[in-house]
Amino acid sequence: MCRTVDLRQAVLAKNTGLAEALREELTGQGVSAVNLLSSPGSGKTELLTWVLRRAVEEGVPVAALTADLATENDARRLARSGAPVKQVLTGGLCHLEADQVRGQLDGWLPRDTRVVFVENVGNLVCPASYDLGETLRVVLMSVTEGEDKPVKYPTAFGSAHLVVLTKTDLAEAVDFDEAAFAAHVDQVNPGVEVLRSSARTGEGVAELLRRVLAVCDGARPHQPVLACAPH
């Protein structure tokens, strides 16, 4: 048992070192990475498509990596935005790691890129433990998933710099208790901002892009208080 724990700690320590180096390298190039985490079906691909489209319309140079165990469906959807997009197939791995991200960016990321969005594998468990060299970690959850997800997945929500509630246009239909959700978020990550969004109505799209660009311009993101914070 102890050997298993030690091995996991060694793997995470190696990843953290690689992530710090990647973050420093990207920062030196004027690039900010945004790590997007959520459960499958949260709507993050559709929301990201709208955010990328708005960035393109505003002349903000952005790009996106999207990770899945199989298929290039998400990359095709995101490419409709007009932004450079690359699919990462993990071959069964349930999360991305810093060395994978660096390998995918090398020789591909356009020189003038200001923000690269990394859509992590749909999973709120494994990806939460791996720093990808991101400047900003965003955890998304849809109103259809239930108000208690933050306390069920405290590592993911506890390490977020920003929480995005998606599919808010369905909140009334599914009897979503937003006050209870906010209380659960605050329980695991006091003070973190929760942004409401809907890809169907456009709510939150402009605001999410604005928040990302503010961090890119030097505004300090909210600092998670849990030991599981990515950096």
Range of the structural domain that residue 198 is part of: 2-216
Q: Kindly report the CATH number assigned to the domain that includes residue 72.
A: 3.40.50.300
Is 21 contained in some domain? yes
pLDDT tens, per residue, the chain with 231 residues: 555 556 567 678 999 999 999 999 999 999 999 999 999 999 999 999 999 999 999 999 999 999 998 889 999 999 999 999 999 998 878 899 999 999 999 999 999 999 999 999 999 999 999 999 999 999 999 999 999 999 999 999 999 999 999 999 999 999 999 999 999 999 999 999 999 999 999 999 999 999 999 998 888 888 886 433 343
> Do 42 and 145 contact (CB within 8 A), yes or no?
yes
Classify 132 as helix, strand or coil: coil
The pTM of the whole model exceeds 0.85: yes
Task: Tell me which H or E stretch contains 88.
Answer: strand 85-89
> Do 149 and 157 contact (CB within 8 A), yes or no?
yes
For residue 6, the model assigns a pLDDT of: 63
* Ranges assigned E (strand) in 100-161: 115-119, 136-142
Classify 46 as helix, strand or coil: helix
Q: Which two tokens stand for residue 100?
A: 């994978």
Q: Where are the alpha helices (DSSP H) in the chain?
A: 2-28, 44-57, 73-79, 98-105, 149-152, 154-158, 178-188, 205-216
For residue 227, the model assigns a pLDDT of: 38
Question: Cα(159)–Cα(138) distance, rounded to whole angstroms?
Answer: 9
The pLDDT tens digits for 30-87 are: 999 999 999 999 999 999 999 999 999 999 999 999 999 888 999 999 999 999 999 9
* Cα atoms in the 13 Å half-sphere on the side-chain side of 191: 7
For residue 20, the model assigns a pLDDT of: 96
Overall number of domains in the chain: 1
For residue 230, the model assigns a pLDDT of: 41
Question: Cα(92)–Cα(105) distance, rounded to whole angstroms?
Answer: 20
